[in-house]
Homo-oligomer: A and B are copies of this chain.
Amino acid sequence: MSDQGTTVAASSAPPAPPSGPPPKVTNRGRSTDPIDSSNFDSTEVPEFEPFGLPGPRGFPPLTEFLDIFSVDMIKRQDEINKQQHHTDFFNSADLVVRRGQEFQVKITFNRPYNPAKDKFAVEFVIGTSPHFSKGTYIPVFPNKERETTWDGRIVNNSGNVVTIGVTPAANCIVGKYHMYVAVMTPFGIRRTRKDDSRNLYILFNPWAKDDAVFLDDETERQECVLNEMGIIYHGAFDDIAERTWNYGQFNYGVLDACLYIMDRAQMPITNRGDPVKVTRKASAMLNSRDDDGVLVGNWSGDYTYGVAPTSWTGSTDILISYLRSKMPVCYAQCWVYAAVFNSFLRCLGIPARVVTNYYSAHDNDGNLKTDIILEESGRIDRNRTRDSIWNYHCWNECYMSRPDLPAGFGGWQVVDATPQETSDGLYRCGPASVMAIKHGHTCYPFDAAFVFAEVNSDVVFYTRSKEGTLEPVKVNRTHVGRMVLTKAPGTTTRRDITDQYKFPEGSVEERTVLEKAEEYGCKREKSDPLPADVELVLPSLEVSIGDDFELSLEFINKSDEERNMDIYISGSVVFYTGVTSAEFLFRNPTVTVGPKKRVKELVLVEEKYYMKHLVEQANLNFIVTGKVKETGQIVSEMKVVTLHNPRLIVTVSGGGRVSEEMTATVEFTNPFNFNLEGVYVRMEGPGLMLPKLKYYSLIPAGSSLIWVEYFTPLRAGNSRVIATLDCPALRQVHGLASVNIAP
């Protein structure tokens, strides 16, 4: 070793590594299999699978065994499978069934089937690497001789025709399968060739007791799985507006689009039977952030390169466009995310509804404080105040058991596809148990603390001193999460579900829950400044766009002394996210109120102030703050005024029966003294009409448009024709006509 002759000399420098980016690293030593995450690529199973090596002359002729002449998937809308599985609405030529429930298949052999001698099986295959142990290859036998996860039985055996009943496991993978028929011979397995006519879709099943999405209420199931027509609430809690939406979950191509979304997310096939994983993954994929998902969010007001969020009438166009172009669709805001997510969930069979939370706290990372900073004078400091209360926010609830949580947290779960700033690294949210939110168990996955803050945050007013320190001067504990609404099942009315999220204001339970959430690390303002002895009331207002109106401020002095106040009245145009676009009004009156007296201060808000600043949802936000000179206490109140838009007039005539032609007419008159340019009008109706679009380059002031469209109803029942009008100068114009179609 110390023999210098054989010692190796080090070269002065190692060779320079090849330049350029590092090469693609393989997974060779990391794992054997690639992850199977595509439902549309599939491997073909061989037509003949020998059990051993053939003899010297090859395999003997197999003529003595069963031969398969034809297979009937019994897939017409009016046949037993789709009727019993509540899938007859699907506009699909393939069989669509739900798991945990029997469906039937008819097989015609070359001769009668003899149960004692003949052996055959139907085999179901999904994905690119089918394995029995992964649930991606499932053989089903017509008798109980072998234990399998899906049940099989002979329903009928007459002549050469065998009807076999197959019950997929209630927790099986959801997606597009292929079915083979296989005959066992002593020499090997002989099976049908792959053929698209034997594709079938298996969905979640809210009607099956053992399914994780089982929902034991037929009215709810009819609404939250089978209803294509939705109502989404917006506006303000004291001036509620609604928008009708066509979820279109049964339209041609929508089911394929929903499966493509999971493929695009590279979601492992084996996870696709678990509604917790499916909904969590989808909440990330419905927005385009991180992963080129379905919808691009845009809150900028400039929608030149896409469709304005306010202009959509339904989900069909969006989902089909994503499936065809493989590109994110432009543009969405929260109700578009929620509506398209709802289509995805209902299409796959997960009970789902869209809910609206009025005054929704946002982007505060699960904490319970939303700050408003005032200058020492009492005037709002807009530079230092972060606007993080949305006028309203829409998300989804979906119904499922939660085996990953302790008992009691199943049921409705919040999922939200709107890209938030912080949800554990990806833009997604949920599923979070509504029960866990109500009871403050914010430690349970996923994102319960975040949703808890959206309905429970406090609004804290601080005064900022010259040195930069902040002092809390007022805490409003009831502003945020003012009301939670959803469409009532079976009707076109709304249902207040605030009590499912919170205990009543001021109750003992409410206090306990907030304390528990604090223990779990939600930060909250502890101090409780004394309320001022002067109260300020801003009454509700209903105002049409373009009108002048009067804002009335009532000051109520509860003390026994006179009170003098410097009041700051600030009126801004805001996005529905609460972000200020422009301040259009500022007043600074001094108000004097005698002991135990009331004083009204009126502010005239003229159309000319606000019209030129309006953004799409036409909300005016008034913040009134001030300081009582005698006590230094802060008086403040906030009010959102939603300007009402003109409406489209939609009328329907003729027919009124399935497959009879009818007419829909959309009428609109430009009520303004200016021209509307670049106007898109959209119309569609669940079960009535696919989305239609018309473009008008100019609607002069005072002029009208009339659009007549013919359509043929596909099915009976109540429905609506929905229309929107959208142009840069005027957004959020709706209209609808109710229709009842006879069979």
Q: Which residues of A contact B (CB under 8 A)?
A: 1-3, 6-11, 13-15, 17-18, 22-23, 25-33, 35, 51, 121, 123, 131-133, 137, 139, 141, 146-148, 184, 189, 268, 270-271, 280-281, 284, 296-302, 304-306, 328, 330-331, 362-363, 365, 371, 373, 384, 386-388, 403-406, 421-422, 424-426, 428, 442-446, 449, 462, 464-471, 519-521, 575, 577, 579-581, 615, 667, 669, 680-681, 693-700, 702-707
Least Cβ distance of A404 to chain B in Å? 5
A8 touches B705 (CB 8 A): yes
A7 touches B704 (CB 8 A): yes
Closest CB pairs A-B (n = 10): A14-B695, A29-B299, A29-B575, A403-B521, A30-B299, A28-B300, A10-B694, A6-B703, A8-B705, A26-B300
CA distance A201 to B462 in the complex (A): 30
Known: A8-B700, A284-B425. 9 other contacts (CB 8 A): A3-B704, A6-B703, A6-B704, A7-B703, A14-B695, A30-B579, A32-B387, A147-B471, A443-B445
B425 touches A305 (CB 8 A): no
Least Cβ distance of A173 to chain B in Å? 13
Given the complex, which residues of B lie within 8 Å of A3, measured CB to CB?
704
Smallest Cβ-Cβ distance to A676: which chain B residue = B8
User: Contacts A469-B147, A667-B1: A421 and B694 contacting too (C-beta < 8 A)?
Assistant: no
Given the complex, which residues of B lie within 8 Å of A707, measured CB to CB?
10
CA distance A93 to B17 in the complex (A): 34
B33 touches A139 (CB 8 A): no
Given the complex, which residues of B lie within 8 Å of A32, measured CB to CB?
386-387, 579-580
Least Cβ distance of A583 to chain B in Å? 13
Give chain A's interface secondary structure class.
loop
In the complex, 16 of the A-B residue pairs with CB atoms within 8 angstroms, ordered by the A residue number, are: A1-B704, A6-B700, A7-B703, A8-B704, A17-B306, A22-B330, A26-B302, A27-B299, A29-B575, A30-B579, A133-B462, A139-B468, A146-B469, A271-B422, A404-B443, A425-B426
Least Cβ distance of A189 to chain B in Å? 7
Given the complex, which residues of B lie within 8 Å of A35, measured CB to CB?
421
A305 touches B23 (CB 8 A): yes
Given the complex, which residues of B lie within 8 Å of A13, measured CB to CB?
695
Of the listed residues A132, A328, A466, the one surrounded by the most CB atoms of chain B closer than 10 A to its CB is: A132
Given the complex, which residues of B lie within 8 Å of A141, measured CB to CB?
467
Given the complex, which residues of B lie within 8 Å of A25, measured CB to CB?
296-298, 300, 331
Smallest Cβ-Cβ distance to A576: which chain B residue = B29
Given the complex, which residues of B lie within 8 Å of A302, measured CB to CB?
26
Q: Out of B31, B305, B446, B462, which one reaches A363, CB within 8 Å?
A: B31
Given the complex, which residues of B lie within 8 Å of A705, measured CB to CB?
7-8, 10
CA distance A680 to B693 in the complex (A): 68
CA distance A304 to B446 in the complex (A): 42
Smallest Cβ-Cβ distance to A146: which chain B residue = B469
Given the complex, which residues of B lie within 8 Å of A469, measured CB to CB?
132, 139, 146-148
B29 touches A189 (CB 8 A): no
Smallest Cβ-Cβ distance to A184: which chain B residue = B467
A387 touches B132 (CB 8 A): no
User: Contacts A467-B121, A520-B403: A11 and B696 contacting too (C-beta < 8 A)?
Assistant: yes
Given the complex, which residues of B lie within 8 Å of A133, measured CB to CB?
371, 373, 384, 462, 470
CA distance A615 to B28 in the complex (A): 11
CA distance A1 to B446 in the complex (A): 53
CA distance A336 to B117 in the complex (A): 61
Of the listed residues A404, A444, A471, the one surrounded by the most CB atoms of chain B closer than 10 A to its CB is: A404
Least Cβ distance of A601 to chain B in Å? 28
Given the complex, which residues of B lie within 8 Å of A2, measured CB to CB?
704, 706
Given the complex, which residues of B lie within 8 Å of A695, measured CB to CB?
10-11, 13-15
Given the complex, which residues of B lie within 8 Å of A189, measured CB to CB?
466-467
A51 touches B373 (CB 8 A): no
B520 touches A405 (CB 8 A): yes
CA distance A693 to B10 in the complex (A): 10
Smallest Cβ-Cβ distance to A462: which chain B residue = B133
User: Contacts A280-B424, A467-B139: A28 and B301 contacting too (C-beta < 8 A)?
Assistant: yes
Least Cβ distance of A705 to chain B in Å? 4
B31 touches A519 (CB 8 A): no
Of the listed residues A132, A189, A328, A468, the one surrounded by the most CB atoms of chain B closer than 10 A to its CB is: A468
CA distance A443 to B697 in the complex (A): 57
A697 touches B11 (CB 8 A): yes
A18 touches B304 (CB 8 A): yes
Least Cβ distance of A276 to chain B in Å? 8
CA distance A581 to B667 in the complex (A): 72
CA distance A13 to B693 in the complex (A): 9
B404 touches A521 (CB 8 A): yes
Given the complex, which residues of B lie within 8 Å of A373, measured CB to CB?
133
B386 touches A33 (CB 8 A): yes
User: Contacts A146-B469, A301-B28, A581-B29: A403 and B519 contacting too (C-beta < 8 A)?
Assistant: yes
Given the complex, which residues of B lie within 8 Å of A10, measured CB to CB?
681, 694-696, 705, 707
Given the complex, which residues of B lie within 8 Å of A296, measured CB to CB?
22, 25
Given the complex, which residues of B lie within 8 Å of A702, measured CB to CB?
6
User: Contacts A11-B695, A29-B300, A462-B133: A22 and B305 contacting too (C-beta < 8 A)?
Assistant: yes
Given the complex, which residues of B lie within 8 Å of A449, measured CB to CB?
404
Given the complex, which residues of B lie within 8 Å of A331, measured CB to CB?
25
